[in-house]
Amino acid sequence: MTDPLLAYAHLKPKDYKRIRRLAVQFLYQLDADKNLTFYPSIFQQFLIQNEARDIPGVDFLQTFIEYIIKNVAQSDQTIQKFAKNWTLERISRIDLAILRVGIAELQFRPGVEHSILISDAVKIADEFGAHQSAVFVNGLLDAIAKG
C-alpha cells in the first residue's frame, strides 16, 4: 500500500509553516462557533478570506484539517492526560487549536522533526495567544512528543 503522505513530499518547510498557521486559524474559527465539523463551503470561504486558495499544499491542508477534526476526541484525551491540573475548559481556545494541530501532526506526519513542529507551535502561540501561551504550548507538546 502506498503512503498517502508521499503525495505531499514536494512541500517545503515554509509550506508546512503556513499550513500549520492556517490549520490553527481554521480550527479556532470553528471552535469559536462551537462547531468542530468540516464543511467544504466554510473551508473554501476561509481560503478566500486568507488568500490561500492557490498556496502549495492546499489539498494537504484540507486533508490535515479533516484528520484533526476526525481525531479531536483522541487529541483532547491526550491533552487532558498531559496537562496536569488543567481541564479543556480552562485552556484558551487558541492554545487548544495550536495543541490539536501539534498533536495531529505528530500522529499524521510521524517523521516530522519534533523540535521544528514545537518551535512553529510556540511561534504561533506567541503571536496569537496570551502572555504565557508559548510556554504552556511548548511544555505540553514537548511532553506529548516524548510520550
Q: What is the mean pLDDT of residues 4-10?
A: 64
What Cα–Cα distance (Å) separates residue 28 from each residue in 35, 58, 64, 74? 10, 18, 15, 18
Please give the share of the chain, as a percent, with pLDDT higher than 70: 95
Q: Are 113 and 16 in contact (CB under 8 A)?
A: no
The single-letter code of the amino acid at 123 is: K
Count of domains in the chain?
1
Domain span holding position 74 = 11-146
Burial of 94 (0-12, 13-18, 19+ CB in 10 A): buried
pLDDT surpassing 90 at residue 9: no
Kindly state whether residue 77 falls inside one of the protein's structural domains.
Answer: yes
Looking at every residue in the chain, the average pLDDT score rounds to 91
Residue 2 has pLDDT above 60, yes or no: no
CATH number at residue 74: 1.10.940.10
* Residue 31 CA to its chain's centroid (Å): 13
Query: Is residue 5 domain-resident?
Result: no
Task: Give 96-114 pLDDT, tens digit per residue.
Answer: 999 999 999 988 887 888 9
Residue 1 located in a structural domain: no
For residue 54, what is the DSSP state?
Answer: T
Domain membership of residue 79 (yes or no) is: yes
> So what's the pLDDT on residue 1?
36
Q: Each residue of 60-70: pLDDT tens digit?
A: 999 999 999 99
Q: What is the pLDDT of residue 35?
A: 86
